[in-house]
Amino acid sequence: MQPIRQLEKVLGGLVDADHYLFSTSDLQGVLGGARGLPVLLSRAEKAGILKRVCRGIYLYPRVDYPRGRLLFHAAALLRANEFNYISLETALSDAGIISQIPINSITLMSSGRSSVIRCGDFGRIEFVHTVRRPDELSGLLTYDPACRLWRASPALALRDMRATRRNKDLINEEVARELV
């Protein structure tokens, strides 16, 4: 069987609304360490079997996936070996402290290095480095199963905004005082 047909058959049996994103290492494992993986992935993209989200992350577009959570799920997959949590503008917007809703952009604190990952039409993921450990923040984080990431409390997100010297012009101080 041709590798592209093998990939299509295997993925067709694996994907569902919860499992629709794959890293290149996932795909390499699915194919048993197939040689020429970059060429195969390029062909799979051209055939519409996969869609590249960002470097190393692919979407199986033939399944109904939660479009509003795709960037969060991609971030969790990209930095699976790091401590990450939703914070800064994203957490404050979700809490209603910032009135503007970031479109196609999410911000997370990460134990990994700071970087902005461009995800084409899907948007962008911004990781901001933190030296804080999970045990230091345990009372200020809650797990968000829909996003598959930890989420900062409004108090922690505000503290992160100050610590990273982010622009605080959009913060509604009155709402912030009520929630914190």
The alpha carbon of residue 69 and the mean position of all alpha carbons in its chain are separated, in whole angstroms, by 8
- The pLDDT-based confidence of 33 (bands split at 50, 70, 90) is low
State whether residue 10 is helix, strand or coil.
helix
Q: 5-9, 15-19, 72-76, 168-172: which range is least confident on average?
A: 168-172
The alpha carbon of residue 120 and the mean position of all alpha carbons in its chain are separated, in whole angstroms, by 14
Q: pTM for this structure?
A: 0.91
Short-list 40, 32, 36, CA closest to 5: 40
- The pLDDT-based confidence of 143 (bands split at 50, 70, 90) is very high
104 touches 123 (CB < 8 A): yes
Burial class (CB in 10 A: 0-12, 13-18, 19+), 46: exposed
Regarding the domain delimited by 3-59, which CATH topology (the fold level of the hierarchy) does it fall under?
Arc Repressor Mutant, subunit A (1.10.10)
124 touches 115 (CB < 8 A): no
Length of the chain, in residues: 180
DSSP characters over 45-66: HHTTS-EEEETTEEE-TTS---
Looking at residue 176, what is its pLDDT?
Answer: 73
Name, in order, each residue with C-beta under 8 angstroms of 110's C-beta and a sequence gap of 6 or more: 79, 82, 83, 84, 127, 128, 129, 130
Question: What percent of the chain has a predicted confidence (pLDDT) above 70?
Answer: 97
The alpha carbons of the chain give a radius of gyration, in whole angstroms, of 18
What are the residue ranges of CATH 1.10.10 in the chain? 3-59
